[in-house]
C-alpha cells in the first residue's frame, strides 16, 4: 500500500504523485492541509522516516517564524504539536510505501527508492 501526503498546490507534490502513478501505483492521497495528521500520526511518520521532528519542518513558512520554531530548546512534543496545529509546516510530499517513508524532495528520489 502506498500513501502520499499531498498538497495539490505544490509542484513537487504534484510531480511525486505523477511519478507514483507512472510506476503503476494507485496511492491513497491525503491532502494534509484539509485532513491534518495528528500527533500520533506524525510520530508514526517520523518512525518510518527515521528522522527527528525538526527535520519534518519547513523553516521557510511564516508560521515557523511566528511560532518561534527555530528555538533549539523546543522539544519533540512541542514541534509535533506545532505541526499538528499548523500542517503547512510539514515537508512535502511524504510518501509511505509499505513500512518505509520518504520525503520525496526532489520527487526523483522516488525512482530509486520504490
Sequence-distant (6+) residues with CB within 8 A of 18 are: none
| pLDDT for residue 110 | 95
Q: What is the CATH number of the domain that holds 86?
A: 3.40.30.10
What whole-number distance in Å separates Cα of residue 95 and Cα of residue 108?
12
The 10s digit of each residue's pLDDT in 23-76 is: 999 999 999 999 999 999 999 999 999 999 999 999 999 999 999 999 999 999
| pLDDT for residue 106 | 94
The catalytic residue among 6, 7, 9, 10 is 10
For the question of residue 10 being annotated catalytic, the response is yes
Q: What cell was used for 29?
A: 492521497
pTM reported for the whole predicted model = 0.92
Give how many domains the chain has, as a whole number: 1
Domain that holds residue 12: 2-113
> For every residue of the chain, which 3-state class applies, written as one string?
CEEEEECCCCHHHHHHHHHHHHCCCCCEEEECCCCCCCHHHHHHHHHHHCCCHHHHECCCCHHHHHCCCCCCCCCHHHHHHHHHHCHHHECCCEEEECCEEEECCCCCHHHHHC
Amino acid at each position: 500500500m502506498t500513501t502520499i501526503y499531498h498538497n495539490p498546490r505544490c509542484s513537487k507534490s504534484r510531480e511525486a504523485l505523477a511519478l507514483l502513478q507512472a510506476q503503476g501505483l494507485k496511492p491513497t492521497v491525503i491532502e494534509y492541509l484539509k485532513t491534518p495528521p495528528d500527533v500520533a500520526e506524525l510520530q508514526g511518520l517520523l518512525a518510518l522516516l527515521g528522522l527527528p521532528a525538526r527535520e519534518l519542518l519547513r523553516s521557510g513558512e511564516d508560521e515557523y517564524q511566528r511560532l518561534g520554531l527555530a528555538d533549539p530548546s523546543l522539544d519533540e512534543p512541542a514541534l509535533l504539536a506545532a505541526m499538528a496545529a499548523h500542517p503547512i509546516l510539514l515537508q512535502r510530499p511524504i510518501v509511505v510505501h509499505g513500512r518505509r517513508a520518504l520525503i520525496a524532495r526532489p520527487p526523483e528520489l522516488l525512482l530509486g527508492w520504490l
